[in-house]
């Protein structure tokens, strides 16, 4: 079933001729008018291929597609994850008791209780009340997890690194032995706390790495030390206990916490330890404020709704295959990767909620890198390539702990990139700039412009602004899943690869194609 939004997009886009130069010429206030402020952030969508009638049509279509009922199902705790019969109540993880009219009260209570246990543990580690087997305080905390049990905490720890005042956070995710080895080189067993982060407590990479560090701790400090140096964050506390982690160090979270939506839950323990619970609470507060905006703002002034509709507009109206995330903040280096899982694992789907094949393109490829580095890597394609790649620029007004003059230079680049993507430079303008003698280069130099982008403006990269930004993208994903009529909260596509890897690990030489079998022989022959 293709929602009304897709039908509307297909009919509107057929005759729509986007022209950003013309749009801005027609309305000198477009930049201000097509911007929305919320949670102290500003979202400028003026450099997108939209007009007021287009925005009105798309928001009307979303409403006609049953938007209000869809939001109600999400917030009330219905099993919106229809294939796993689970709710998706990540908003409850950052809600306060007074939010019970918006989000399931039971979920809010459960989340608060789980968080309280984590906070107490984090405070004990930070204060030295909880120490290692040899009585020394923990100076380092290692989060072993992958996917949503890694990407959120990793990204937040880097983004908020100026606020780290506790044990240093390290992250091991990859099965590649180099990952654990390189991290362990930096650590001493006596002063290292290991967090095994795994919702299922069944992910091979995580359990393999956790077992390695378990041996590392036991070899250095004795078997009994494991109980002092390990904690687990999981929806399967039974499995964590079987691994040898004592109950008091196992931090549960509900099965309605999706992996890619879990940083706000016990999975955020590494952040509570490294940053301190108050800073973690500020992150939650920022996300909560965006939740309120998402649940209350009129659709045409609702940032996540606009983000979601714009993405579907390009994907289904103009066949755009990818979307670039361009944070002009070095400490948001992991933000594109975090959004890759959030968006591509949520909406990279080929069947509708009822299991029938979709009749529309779904999630685009999400990619990106920090500016200004991207300008020296892939912006050439963004400006003069033959594909249109809508982009999100993320800019902060103030540096956190560096000089403002440099920060202003950084922001000039961000705004310049968005400006020239939108308005380009014609061949004639190029000749006017570089002179007739260079006219033979005019076609090479010309930039077509008319390339759309969003501009996020944050006051600074602080906990509240980051929380609000993250929540906005979570809600964007939900908006798009409603437009596409798909389940944003399961991920069956990753199971087949896991079972194939298990078959190959069985040693059965007949497994796989001739290519795989030949590769296995080659690797075996070349292994030392
Ligand atoms: O990639 C599949 C996936 O299940 C993700 O959804 C999840 O975040 C990741 O693997 C890790 O899962 P777990 O937290 O259960 O170890």
What is the end-to-end Cα distance of the chain in Å, rounded? 55
Output the pTM of the full model.
0.98
Task: Reply yes or no on whether the pLDDT at 459 is more than 80.
Answer: yes
Cβ–ligand 1 distance for 234 under 6 Å, the answer no
Active-site residue set: 345, 376, 498
Task: Reply yes or no on whether the pLDDT at 191 is more than 80.
Answer: yes
Say which residues have a Cβ less than 8 Å from residue 521's Cβ, sequence separation at least 6: none
In angstroms, rounded to a whole number, what is the distance separating the alpha carbons of residues 260 and 255? Answer: 12
Peptide bond into 372 cis (omega under 30): yes
Cβ–ligand 1 distance for 340 under 6 Å, the answer no
- Residue 202 CA, ligand 1 centroid: distance in Å: 9
* Pairing relationship of beta strands 35-38 and 168-172 according to DSSP bridges: unpaired
- Residue 348 CA, ligand 1 centroid: distance in Å: 15
- Tell me, which fold does domain 2-64+297-484 have in CATH? Rossmann fold (3.40.50)
Kindly state the percentage of the chain with pLDDT values over 70: 100
Both structure tokens of 342 = 């959030």
- pLDDT in the model for residue 65: 87
Question: Which DSSP string do the residues of 269-309 spell out, in sequence order?
Answer: HHHHHHH-HHHHHHHHHHHHHHHHHHHHS-GGG-HHHHHHH
| Among candidate residues 335, 279, 331, 322, the one with its CA nearest the CA of residue 473 | 335
Cβ–ligand 1 distance for 317 under 6 Å, the answer no
- pLDDT in the model for residue 1: 45
Which residues belong to CATH 3.40.50.10490 in the chain? 2-64+297-484, 90-280
Cβ–ligand 1 distance for 200 under 6 Å, the answer yes
**CB of 134 closer than 8 Å to CB of 190:** yes
Cβ–ligand 1 distance for 259 under 6 Å, the answer yes
| Residue of 149, 206, 255 with the most ligand 1 atoms within 8 Å of its CB, for mutation | 149
- pLDDT in the model for residue 438: 87
What strands lie across the sheet with 230-234, from one edge to the other?
168-172, 140-144, 192-197, 230-234, 250-252
The closest-lying atom of ligand 1 relative to the alpha carbon of residue 200 is: 15
Both structure tokens of 431 = 């000749």
Instruction: Categorize the per-residue pLDDT at 3 as very low, low, confident or very high, splitting at 50, 70 and 90.
Output: confident
pLDDT digits (tens, 9 = 90+) for 338-366: 999 999 999 999 999 999 999 999 999 99
- Residue 462 CA, ligand 1 centroid: distance in Å: 27
| Among candidate residues 289, 286, 284, 238, the one with its CA nearest the CA of residue 265 | 284
Coil/strand/helix, residue 142: strand
- Residue 252 CA, ligand 1 centroid: distance in Å: 15
Measured from the Cβ of residue 419, the count of other Cβ atoms closer than 10 Å reads 14
| Residue of 252, 259, 348, 477 with the most ligand 1 atoms within 8 Å of its CB, for mutation | 259
Task: Reply yes or no on whether the pLDDT at 154 is more than 50.
Answer: yes
Taking residues 501-509, what's their average pLDDT?
Answer: 92
**CB of 290 closer than 8 Å to CB of 38:** yes
Kindly state the percentage of the chain with pLDDT values over 90: 97
Coil/strand/helix, residue 204: helix
Measured from the Cβ of residue 402, the count of other Cβ atoms closer than 10 Å reads 12
Average pLDDT, the chain: 97
Buried residues in 68-79 as b, exposed as e (16+ CB within 10 A): eebbebbbebbe
pLDDT digits (tens, 9 = 90+) for 387-443: 999 999 999 999 999 999 999 999 999 999 999 999 999 999 999 999 998 889 999
- pLDDT in the model for residue 478: 98
- Residue 265 CA, ligand 1 centroid: distance in Å: 14
Torsional sign, CA 313, 318, 319, 324: negative
| C-alpha pair distances (Å), 83 with each of 14, 66, 440, 485 | 35, 20, 60, 14
Across 371-466, the runs of DSSP E, i.e. the strands, are 391-398, 453-460
In angstroms, rounded to a whole number, what is the distance separating the alpha carbons of residues 228 and 476? Answer: 41
In angstroms, rounded to a whole number, what is the distance separating the alpha carbons of residues 76 and 86? Answer: 12
Instruction: Categorize the per-residue pLDDT at 201 as very low, low, confident or very high, splitting at 50, 70 and 90.
Output: very high
Cβ–ligand 1 distance for 149 under 6 Å, the answer yes
Taking residues 258-275, what's their average pLDDT?
Answer: 98
Q: Which CATH number fits domain 90-280: 1.10.1240.10, 3.40.50.10490, 1.10.357.10, 3.30.450.20?
A: 3.40.50.10490
| Among candidate residues 344, 411, 418, the one with its CA nearest the CA of residue 379 | 418
Buried residues in 263-280 as b, exposed as e (16+ CB within 10 A): bbbbbbbbbbbbbbbebb
The residue nearest atom 9 of ligand 1, judged by CA position, is 147
Angle CA 185–186–189, to nearest 5: 85
DSSP element (H, E) containing 384: helix 379-384
Taking residues 54-81, what's their average pLDDT?
Answer: 95
Instruction: Categorize the per-residue pLDDT at 2 as very low, low, confident or very high, splitting at 50, 70 and 90.
Output: low
pLDDT digits (tens, 9 = 90+) for 164-183: 999 999 999 999 999 999 99
Instruction: Categorize the per-residue pLDDT at 299 as very low, low, confident or very high, splitting at 50, 70 and 90.
Output: very high
| Residue of 148, 210, 236 with the most ligand 1 atoms within 8 Å of its CB, for mutation | 148
- pLDDT in the model for residue 273: 99
Cβ–ligand 1 distance for 348 under 6 Å, the answer no
């Amino acid at each position: 079933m293709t929602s009304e939004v897709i039908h509307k997009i297909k009919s509107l886009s057929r005759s729509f001729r986007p022209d950003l130069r013309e749009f801005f010429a027609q309305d000198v206030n477009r930049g201000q008018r097509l911007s929305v402020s919320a949670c102290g952030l500003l979202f400028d969508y003026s450099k997108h291929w939209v007009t007021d009638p287009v925005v009105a049509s798309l928001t009307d279509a979303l409403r006609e597609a049953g938007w209000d009922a869809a939001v109600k199902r999400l917030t009330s705790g219905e099993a919106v994850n229809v294939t796993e019969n689970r709710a998706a109540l990540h908003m409850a993880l950052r809600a306060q008791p007074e939010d019970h009219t918006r989000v399931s009260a039971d979920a809010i209570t459960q989340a608060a209780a789980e968080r309280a246990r984590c906070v107490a543990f984090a405070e004990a580690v930070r204060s030295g009340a909880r120490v290692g087997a040899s009585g020394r305080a923990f100076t380092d905390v290692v989060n072993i997890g992958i996917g949503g049990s890694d990407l959120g905490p990793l990204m937040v720890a880097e983004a908020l690194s100026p606020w780290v005042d506790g044990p240093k956070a390290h992250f091991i995710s990859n099965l590649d032995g180099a990952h654990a080895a390189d991290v362990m080189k930096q650590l001493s067993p006596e002063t290292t706390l290991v967090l095994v982060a795994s919702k299922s407590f069944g992910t091979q990479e995580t359990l393999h790495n956790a077992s390695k560090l378990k041996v590392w701790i036991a070899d250095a400090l004795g078997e009994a030390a494991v109980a002092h140096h390990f904690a687990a964050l999981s929806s399967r506390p039974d499995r964590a206990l079987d691994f040898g982690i004592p109950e008091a160090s196992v931090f549960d979270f509900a099965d309605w916490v999706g992996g890619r939506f879990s940083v706000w839950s016990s999975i955020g323990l590494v952040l509570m330890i490294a940053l301190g619970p108050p800073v973690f609470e500020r992150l939650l507060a920022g996300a909560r404020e965006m939740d309120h905006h998402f649940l209350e703002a009129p659709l045409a002034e609702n940032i996540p709704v606009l983000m979601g509709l714009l993405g579907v507009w390009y994907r289904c109206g103009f066949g755009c295959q990818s979307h670039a995330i361009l944070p002009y903040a070095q400490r948001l280096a992991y933000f594109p990767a975090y959004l890759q899982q959030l968006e591509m694992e949520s909406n990279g789907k080929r069947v509708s909620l009822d299991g029938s094949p979709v009749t529309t393109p779904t999630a685009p490829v999400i990619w990106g890198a920090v500016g200004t580095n991207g300008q020296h890597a892939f912006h050439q394609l963004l400006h003069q390539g033959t594909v249109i790649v809508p982009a999100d620029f993320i800019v902060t007004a103030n540096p956190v702990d560096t000089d403002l003059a440099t920060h202003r230079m950084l922001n000039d680049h961000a705004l310049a990139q968005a400006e020239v993507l939108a308005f380009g430079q014609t061949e004639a303008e190029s000749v006017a700039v570089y002179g007739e003698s260079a006219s033979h280069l005019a076609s090479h130099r010309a930039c077509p412009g008319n390339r759309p982008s969003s501009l996020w403006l944050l006051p600074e990269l602080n906990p509240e602004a980051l929380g609000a930004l993250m929540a906005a993208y979570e809600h964007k994903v939900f908006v798009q899943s409603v437009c596409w009529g798909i389940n944003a909260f399961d991920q069956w596509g990753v199971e087949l690869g896991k079972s194939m890897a298990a078959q190959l690990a069985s040693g059965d030489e007949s497994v796989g194609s001739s290519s795989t079998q030949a590769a296995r022989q080659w690797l075996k022959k070349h292994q030392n």
